[in-house]
Amino acid sequence: QKEVEQDPGPLSVPEGAIVSLNCTYSNSAFQYFMWYRQYSRKGPELLMYTYSSGNKEDGRFTAQVDKSSKYISLFIRDSQPSDSATYLCAVGSSNTGKLIFGQGTTLQVKP
């Protein structure tokens, strides 16, 4: 079983749609949960960061962590064509000192 699983997509939505991106993880010791966005031919950039459980909102983006289900989500409201990218979830724990990335979900927002 992979430590982090993410549906690779691709996911195609019309402009203005609400997008839901998800990851599951296997190790309950993970404490850090991140979402990175990666545009084509670019390196990933940190989009959202959550420590432990709960929600975090930043503009059109909301990150949720459900530790009981080992499930993390990223919601994008009013999606824009500029949101078209690959979204990588990443999880980590201070015990292992490692950050593990999911395989990424490719999102395309059509005008």
Partner 1 sequence: EAGVAQSPRYKIIEKRQSVAFWCNPISGHATLYWYQQILGQGPKLLIQFQNNGVVDDSQLPKDRFSAERLKGVDSTLKIQPAKLEDSAVYLCASSLLRGQGVGEKLFFGSGTQLSVL
Q: Which residues bind partner 1 (CB under 8 A)?
A: 4, 6, 8, 31-32, 41-46, 49, 51, 88, 90, 92-94, 96-104
Q: Decide whether 17 or 67 has the Cβ nearer to partner 1.
A: 67
Residue type, 49: Y
Q: What is the full DSSP assignment across 50-82?
A: EESSEEEEETTEEEEEETTTTEEEEEESS--GG
Least separation in angstroms between CB 38 and partner 1 = 8
Least separation in angstroms between CB 85 and partner 1 = 13
CA distance 56 to 103: 22
CA distance 27 to 105: 21
Q: Decide whether 101 or 109 has the Cβ nearer to partner 1.
A: 101
Q: Decide whether 28 or 94 has the Cβ nearer to partner 1.
A: 94
Inter-CA distances, 67 with 11, 25, 29, Å: 25, 9, 10
Least separation in angstroms between CB 92 and partner 1 = 4
Least separation in angstroms between CB 61 and partner 1 = 16
